[in-house]
């Protein structure tokens, strides 16, 4: 046996793979090592040096930078002697004044509230755990962290900001404020927090402390395969219902205006496709391609992939299992990035408010498209990847 160990395990343990439910004997991992499922390739665990201490440090840094990104100017816009600037607070006000309270709520939750809850929860958990103490409701708080993580879209908002700048930099002078740089540092810190999180290790550490304090374990870190046929059928039906809703939302999201530009009394509505064509004609080929892929290709591809996967498990197919799990991972990962177009509209609507001279307001398609992204994310979450491997023996 090794004399020193870098993780909380003393002996190899048997765990169940989250995505294929294969029982795997996980060996003791050292720093910079990771373990993958031998059947589906899912990353079971990865060990980083001083991971928990780094998570605490990066989480505190992220909160500081988030607070610094709120009070100062985020961006300034000036053209022909007219000028406007905005920060996070004025962004909410603009959306609410234009009767887009839902968009304001989406921005508040995905950019500020959810990341804050995740960061505070990790700090609340890890500081006592590193001292061998059990945080009250630790299992529930840790479960909440992993439920909220997919809905934290800080990095997507930053990409949306950069896309917005490229769209308007040729028509006006843009000045970056202190809050913009603070938000970049917040995004980097938040990303480092996520990269250092290891789901199995955190649950293992929590279980170790629970056992030491004789506390009954209520939460499990492994989503086991569902054996109940009724539950399996409900999972399939729920995924179909969400996909059908996504198809319905896709039509208004791409046919109705996603934003309207008001210029000296004239309204110029623009759809997603119209915006892509305009950017392409202006020579902004990379940005046009990004918007087209994120807003048109990805939603359609995700709906088709999830429909294929759901149909295959409904028919209990045992073919192309490895290929299907790879497509599932891709659909689950890329779906949230479609929100970049929604954030572009939010930023432009917040920034370009010059009274009767020029202003931008969100269109009805913005709400439909936001709903489309949310529903497809829920469809991916409702799909049970273990069902792909249902008819394959556990030892294969």
What is the total count of domains within the chain? 3
DSSP sequence for 178-207: HHHHHHHHHHHHHHHHHHH--HHHHHHHHH
Q: Does the structure show a pLDDT above 90 at 169?
A: no
Does residue 123 contact residue 80 with C-beta atoms inside 8 Å? no
Specify the pLDDT at position 11: 57
> Is 239 in the same domain as 379?
yes
> Is 379 in the same domain as 253?
yes
> Is 20 in the same domain as 64?
no
> How sure is the predictor about 220, in pLDDT bands with cuts at 50, 70 and 90?
very low
**pLDDT tens-place string over residues 71-100:** 888 888 787 777 778 788 888 888 888 788
Specify the pLDDT at position 203: 86
Q: Which residues of 339-361 are buried (b: 16+ CB within 10 A; e: fewer)?
A: bbbbbbbbbbbbbbbbeeebbbb
Does residue 352 contact residue 358 with C-beta atoms inside 8 Å? yes
**pLDDT tens-place string over residues 294-312:** 888 889 999 999 999 999 9
Does residue 357 contact residue 82 with C-beta atoms inside 8 Å? yes
> Is 303 in the same domain as 170?
no
Q: Does the structure show a pLDDT above 50 at 221?
A: no
Q: Does the structure show a pLDDT above 80 at 314?
A: yes
The whole-angstrom separation of Cα 298 and Cα 280 is 19
> Is 20 in the same domain as 76?
no
Specify the pLDDT at position 228: 59
> Is 233 in the same domain as 211?
no
Angle at 334 between CA 331 and CA 339, to 5 degrees: 125
> Is 75 in the same domain as 216?
yes
Q: Mean pLDDT across the stretch 50-55?
A: 89
Q: Does the structure show a pLDDT above 80 at 170?
A: no
Q: Mean pLDDT across the stretch 177-196?
A: 94
Specify the pLDDT at position 215: 55
Residue with tokens 């300034």: 76
Q: Does the structure show a pLDDT above 50 at 31?
A: yes
User: Cα separations (Å) of 292 from 276, 285, 288, 325, 338?
Assistant: 6, 10, 6, 26, 10
**pLDDT tens-place string over residues 366-396:** 999 999 999 999 999 999 888 888 766 554 4
> How sure is the predictor about 57, in pLDDT bands with cuts at 50, 70 and 90?
very high
Residue 315 or 170, more confident? 315
Does residue 360 contact residue 262 with C-beta atoms inside 8 Å? yes
Q: Mean pLDDT across the stretch 232-255?
A: 90
205 alpha carbon, distance to own chain's centre: 25
> Is 239 in the same domain as 308?
yes
What value does the CA radius of gyration of the chain take, rounded to a whole number of Å? Answer: 23
Residue 28 or 52, more confident? 52
> Is 347 in the same domain as 281?
yes
Residue that terminates a domain, selected from 207, 222, 237: 222
**pLDDT tens-place string over residues 112-152:** 999 999 999 999 999 999 888 888 888 899 999 999 999 99
CATH number at residue 315: 1.20.140
Residue that terminates a domain, selected from 222, 257, 272: 222
CA neighbor of 58 nearest in space, from 192, 155, 197, 148: 192
Q: Does the structure show a pLDDT above 50 at 2?
A: no
Helix (H) or strand (E) run with residue 372 in it: helix 364-382
Residue 382 or 222, more confident? 382
> Is 30 in the same domain as 112?
no
Mean pLDDT over all residues of the chain? 83
Residue with tokens 């659909």: 331
Does residue 381 contact residue 302 with C-beta atoms inside 8 Å? no
Percent of residues in the chain assigned helix, strand, coil, to nearest 5 = 60, 10, 30
Domain containing 323 equals 224-396
Helix (H) and strand (E) counts for the chain? 15, 10
> Is 247 in the same domain as 390?
yes
Residue with tokens 């046919």: 255
Provide the angle, in degrees to the nearest 10, between the axes of the packed helices 51-68 and 114-130. 140
Question: Model-level pTM?
Answer: 0.84
- Comparing 55-59, 277-281, 355-359, the range with the smallest average pLDDT is 355-359
Residue that terminates a domain, selected from 47, 70, 85: 47
> Is 192 in the same domain as 71?
yes
> How sure is the predictor about 213, in pLDDT bands with cuts at 50, 70 and 90?
low
> How sure is the predictor about 59, in pLDDT bands with cuts at 50, 70 and 90?
very high
Q: Does the structure show a pLDDT above 90 at 205?
A: no
Helix (H) or strand (E) run with residue 249 in it: helix 229-255
Strands (E) in the chain, as ranges, are 13-16, 23-26, 34-36, 43-46, 75-79, 82-86, 173-176, 259-263, 266-270, 358-362
């Amino acid at each position: 046996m090794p004399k020193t160990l870098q993780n909380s395990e003393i002996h190899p343990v048997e765990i169940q793979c989250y995505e294929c439910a294969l029982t795997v004997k996980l060996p003791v991992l050292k720093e910079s090592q990771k373990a993958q499922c031998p059947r589906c390739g899912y990353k079971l665990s990865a060990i980083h040096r001083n991971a928990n201490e780094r998570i605490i440090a990066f989480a505190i840094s992220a909160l500081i930078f988030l607070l610094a990104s709120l009070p100062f100017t985020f961006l300034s816009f000036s053209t022909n002697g007219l000028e406007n600037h905005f920060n996070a607070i004025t962004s909410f006000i603009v959306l609410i004044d234009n009767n887009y309270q839902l968009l304001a709520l989406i921005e508040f939750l995905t950019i500020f509230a959810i990341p804050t809850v995740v960061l505070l929860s990790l700090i609340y958990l890890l500081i006592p755990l590193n001292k061998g103490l059990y945080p009250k409701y630790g299992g529930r708080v840790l479960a909440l962290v992993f439920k909220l993580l997919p809905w934290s879209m800080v990095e997507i908002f930053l990409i949306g900001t950069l896309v917005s700048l490229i769209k308007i930099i040729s028509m006006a002078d843009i000045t970056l404020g202190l809050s913009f740089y603070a938000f970049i540092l917040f995004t980097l810190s938040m990303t480092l927090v996520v990269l250092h999180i290891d789901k199995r290790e955190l649950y293992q550490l929590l279980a170790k402390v629970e056992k030491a304090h004789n506390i009954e374990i209520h939460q499990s870190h492994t989503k086991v395969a569902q054996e109940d046929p009724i539950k399996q059928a409900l999972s399939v039906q729920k995924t179909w219902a969400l996909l059908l809703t996504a198809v319905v939302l896709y039509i208004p999201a791409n046919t109705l205006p996603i934003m309207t530009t008001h210029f000296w009394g004239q309204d110029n509505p623009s759809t997603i496709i119209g915006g892509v064509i305009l950017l392409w004609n202006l020579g902004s080929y990379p940005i046009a391609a990004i918007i087209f892929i994120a807003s048109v290709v990805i939603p359609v591809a995700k709906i088709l992939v999830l429909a294929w996967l759901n149909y295959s498990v409904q028919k209990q197919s045992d073919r192309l299992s490895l290929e299907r799990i790879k497509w599932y991972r891709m659909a689950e990962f890329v779906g949230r990035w479609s929100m970049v177009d929604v954030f572009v509209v939010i930023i432009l609507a917040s920034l370009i408010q010059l009274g009767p001279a020029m202003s931008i307001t969100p269109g009805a398609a913005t709400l439909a498209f936001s709903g489309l992204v949310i529903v497809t994310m829920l469809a991916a979450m409702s799909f049970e990847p273990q069902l792909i491997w249902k008819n394959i023996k556990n030892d294969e």
